[in-house]
Structure 1
């Protein structure tokens, strides 16, 4: 899953599509009581379920969960359609909604969730949710993301957070201590950079091994900003608060790691050498990799000695949490069956297998207790010391980008950050542009 981390594409196209989906559905289009009664009979109901293809491993895991659901609910047949992630998925879903042909249930990126809800295309799940769950059963970041003005329009199945992975062989060869997994002992930023320098190897003027990779993803920039006392948005959530000295320090430190210290490659390096980040870590081309916790599912299959640790800190150890939600189309003809599927996709039963595989982390407080951890902890997947990282993920701050409904702000951030990373735009200018452009967009609501 990632994604829960979808890239916002052509914002003009998306906004037009979203506008086409807006407005309440007339009562004449709502499922009649006769139809709903029919759906509760023994007649087989067909549900269309759409998600994104983040990786073949993830898709296989989701399909196994669906098979289990159908065994338990023989009167419900679920047809799952995985779609390539990124812009393709968002565009396809919006087009289907605009054409009144959306799937009954679908993955919805956490950063798109509020925008979709605001356009009145999601089934209100609040009554069913309150009958089965209490919001405080969920970890804080998941609860904060799901709830919109007291209502629930999408239910999460998990959480994911950026963490630091490292290749133990690379560290052993260099004779260096491993990064601390305990957030209370997390390396300072300077300690981290010093180690990255020692792990960077040159051969004839060419770097053959980099110390670290992955910090230029904005999902990683955010926790480093927060670690230094910075914020993306003001407390009211309606204005930006990014243009501060705390955030400038974090921005500049990450850029300096590549441009001045030479311990990290450009993100475009992957395109040039045709390798995934996990493969770079496995092969020793990088010593440390920061990426989402979901990467453990793939890394665990690669059979090399991997370690996991808390992110480096400026003033305090911070990570952020987010994940996709499962929502239902407001115009589904099978609201009861759609809820049954959504509820199952958030159940401990469904989560446990996928957490055990290394793909996700739990969204329920009960799965972070000593007894709860036993249900999913897998010594073949979770690295030594992983247990110490569990509270770090449980208590993660909600990704602030998931708490606004105007998705154009995320596109603005991407545009300005690209100029900062690759076009030598100064940190001061970047922060100022993001704040001024973002506030102008937020004010248009």
Structure 2
């Protein structure tokens, strides 16, 4: 009997070792737009090492073409499990049913489910009717960059990001005039300020005056309201009447063609890396309340993925300290998670950013940051504004005159995009 049991046990062991195949690996397809120098392949390699049951196939598309390529892949039946989503496409994809509801995954996760893991703004940008459909990659905000030497030589002072009160638009405009420097023939050799007048900076100024591009429910353009008109005219007058501003970006400080420049926090890396330029940062000027448009791309899971649990593990990695830390050190991102916020001083690259930069930027984000979920068709509906707003910047038209003419067209386009 004992010999029989032993023989049977031996047979079973051989069967277990040779006859039962190992569990097959799951292959996830991940689509993103990061350039090679951002180290995405190295990051994914770390994820695969920590998750040996998952292989990740990386598909890269340019930031300007990822929407088209993603939709083409999905329409053609090609797998995409986890992917980048532009901030202004989040609601569009959610309403099209492309994004997996990850609420239960987050609630049941011991890390992401902690109430203090994310900044409060995260839930506002990543949920619809209280349900999570993606997670923001990080935060980027708009701030004021300036040349401290130019400001000091003019005998001026700019408030810090942590000041108890910020500067007003009038104080900002007066300083821009004083910092504008002309050659003997009257031509401008250094502008007081350069501002890239695209959606996010303009949105920040509008919010500071308790205005915006759209009504709170996202159904109506409100650029014809008095608060918005005031902001648009102020931006135009700074350029056309005061002649203290032009379109530009923070690299103008390094080139000496501007004393102040307004842009997103990504400029810390893209404008000043390897320059050694001693820039400083400050809050945006205030109309009524401090405001800076906080946004970034999302990470999301395809609603019809075959591997939701494994895809969430990748999504969780893309929200982790391990993944975010290098981008924060580079000055490209501000962290979106509390564990990194407790380590800001040690993450600063002193060759790139001034002392206290990360801590002060996060303070400003929490104090003045706001986020917007743009409705489907927002970009197309706003085309009449961007096609014509140059006439305000140049002083050819008053903002009220132009907005009264084009806002009805924008509202008709928004209504059409809603299928009404």
TM-score (norm 1): 0.79
What corresponds to 1:193 in structure 2? 173
Name the structure 2 match of 1:311: 284
Provide the residue aligned with 1:15 in structure 2: none
1:126 correspondence with 2:106: no
Distance (whole Å) between structure 2 residues aligned to residue 397 and residue 296 of structure 1: 18
| 1:265-293: CA deviation from partner (whole Å, max 9, x where unpaired) | 245xxxxxxxxx34322121111111111
* 1:410 CA displacement: 4.0
Cα 1:43–1:102 change in 2 (3 A) is: closer
Runs of 4+ residues over 6 Å off in structure 1: none
Greater relative CO, 1 or 2 (CA 8 Å, sep 6+): 1
Name the structure 2 match of 1:347.
Answer: 320
Match of 1:148 in 2: 128
Alignment CA distance shift 1:161-1:287 (3 Å): same
CA contact (8 A) 2:141 2:369 kept: no
Offset at 1:179?
Answer: 4.5
Q: Distance in 2 between matches of 1:247 and 1:342?
A: 38
Q: Of the candidates 383, 393, 398, which is equivalent to residue 370 of structure 2?
A: 398
CA spacing shift, 1:348–1:198, aligned 2, 3 Å: same
Q: Is the 8 A contact 1:183 1:389 kept in 2?
A: no
- Is 1:247 paired with 2:228? yes
What is the alpha-carbon distance in structure 2 between the residues aligned to residue 140 and residue 263 of structure 1? 37
Q: Is the 8 A contact 1:123 1:328 kept in 2?
A: yes
Task: Say which of 263, 283, 288 aligns to 1:291.
Answer: 263
1:382 aligns to 2:353 (yes or no): yes
Moved more, 415-424 or 342-351: 415-424
- Classify 1:337/1:313 alpha carbon distance in 2 versus 1 (closer, same or farther; 3 Å): same
Determine which of 62, 66, 69 is the counterpart of 2:44.
66
On the 8 A contact 1:159/1:361 being kept in 2, the answer is yes
1:244 and 1:134 map into 2 onto residues whose CA distance is 41
Q: Is the 8 A contact 1:416 1:433 kept in 2?
A: no
Cα displacement string for residues 65-115 of structure 1 (whole angstroms, at most 9, x for unaligned residues): 2232122123323233332222x2222222223322252211101110110
CA contact under 8 A between 1:161 and 1:321: conserved in structure 2?
yes
SS, match of residue 30 in structure 2 = strand
Q: 2:300 touches 2:315 (CA, 8 Å); kept in 1? A: yes
- Residue deviations 1:299-319 (CA, integer Å, cap 9, x gap): 243211110110011222211
- Cα distance, 1:178 vs. partner? 4.0
CA deviation after TM superposition for structure 1 residue 45, in Å = 2.9
Compared CA separation, residues 72 and 303, structure 1 to 2 (3 A)? same
Alpha-carbon RMSD across the aligned residues, in angstroms, is: 2.6
Report if aligned partners of 1:231, 1:241 keep a CA contact under 8 Å in 2: yes
User: Equivalents in 1 of 2:51, 2:251: separation in Å?
Assistant: 40
Aligned to 2:195: 214
| Native 8 Å contact 1:140 1:395 kept in 2 | no
Larger displacement relative to structure 2 (411-420 or 117-126): 411-420
Q: 1:44 is matched with which residue: 25, 47, 65?
A: 25
Match of 1:441 in 2: 413
CA contact (8 A) 1:141 1:395 kept: no
Deviation at 1:227, TM superposition (A): 1.4
Change beyond 3 A, Cα 1:64–1:300:
same
Matched, 1:363 2:336: yes
State how far apart, in whole Å, the 1-side matches of 2:278 and 2:146 are.
9
Residue 106 of structure 2 is aligned to residue 106 of structure 1:
no
3-state DSSP of counterpart to 1:210: strand
- Check 1:64–1:394 CA distance in 2 against 1; reply closer, same or farther (3 A cut): farther
1:427 Cα deviation after fit: 0.6
* Structure 1: unaligned runs, 5 residues or longer: 1-40, 268-276
Aligned to 1:273: none
Residues 425 and 76 (structure 1 numbering): CA distance in 2 closer, same or farther, change over 3 Å? Answer: farther
Q: 1-side partners of 2:41 and 2:151: how far apart?
A: 38
Q: How far apart are the structure 2 equivalents of 1:227 and 1:428?
A: 19
Q: CA deviation at 1:425?
A: 4.2
Offset at residue 385 of structure 1 (A)? 4.4
Question: TM-score normalised to the size of structure 2?
Answer: 0.83
